[in-house]
Homo-oligomer: A and B are copies of this chain.
Amino acid sequence: MTEQLTLYSYWRSSAAYRVRIGLNLKGLPYRTVPVHLVRDGGQQHAEAYRQLNPQELVPVLMHGDRVMRQSVAILEYLDETWPSPPLLPAASRDRQRARAIAQVLACDIHPLNNLRVLQYFDRTWSVPQPEREEWVRHWVAEGFAAIETMLTDHPSTGVFCEGDIPGLADCCLIPQMYNARRFAVDLTPYPTLVRVEQACLALPEFDAARPENQPDAPAPEPAPA
């Protein structure tokens, strides 16, 4: 496996964040190519990037000359290609549950709150920013409430969403927690999610994947004198 891994990423994209966690959990070194989602009218819309991803979204992962799109499908590829440590549990019923949690996050929260959707509201319907932010919080709350129930009701919840090994569901949860804090979502109704987040962020694989630790993250504000 000497073929290089290259991730087209944006520091604050939650879909790219998922893949960064997955790569780190697998112990795979990779090169980052930043794609700035706002600068230059959105670098993801540039012709060269469209050749990599006709959806004009991040991330894209290149493995050698292989072009891979869609973060959850990329994580499945990583798990099939480098099985250890696993991102999914062994038993099919547990795999189904882990994937279902991941899909709640990847299908039913994140795409609704994505940059392009908020831009649509602004440009097409002139929805004021406070109402756009209320929209974001609404869908986070709907999804988080469901996942909190799925976790508290189930015996296979462990230190992480599924058992005691961080995996696919955690790769999807942690970026969404970051996004929730960014939009000032009240997290007190989701104590299990907060507990899992703390366990994840204590691990170096998650820490290295944090938005603020990316090469394209803006420099931190200088401390007041």
Contacts and interface: CB of A to CB of B under 8 A. Distances in A.
A108 B77 contact: no
A100 interface: yes
Main SS class of interface, A: helix
Contacts of A93: 66, 77
Contacts of A66: 93, 96
Interface size band for A? 35 or more
Contact of A69 (B80, B100, B138): B100
A70 B100 contact: yes
**Which one of A66, A96, A131 has the greatest number of beta carbons of chain B within 10 Å?**
A96
Given A107-B107, A112-B112, A125-B125, A99 B120 contact: no
Given A103-B106, A108-B111, A111-B111, A96 B68 contact: yes
Interface in A71-112: 72-74, 76-77, 80-81, 92-93, 95-97, 99-100, 102-104, 106-108, 110-112
B100 A111 contact: no
A107 B138 contact: no
A108 B68 contact: no
A115 interface: no
**Which one of A54, A77, A107, A127 has the greatest number of beta carbons of chain B within 10 Å?**
A107
A70 B104 contact: yes
Interface in A133-160: 135, 138, 142-143, 145-146, 149-150
Contacts of A28: none
Contact of A107 (B70, B74, B127, B149): B70
A55 interface: yes
A56 B150 CA distance: 12
Interface string A39-80: 000000000000001111100000000101110111011001
20 contacts: A54-B149, A55-B108, A56-B146, A57-B108, A68-B97, A69-B104, A70-B99, A70-B107, A72-B99, A72-B103, A73-B97, A73-B100, A73-B102, A74-B100, A77-B95, A80-B92, A107-B110, A112-B112, A120-B135, A125-B131
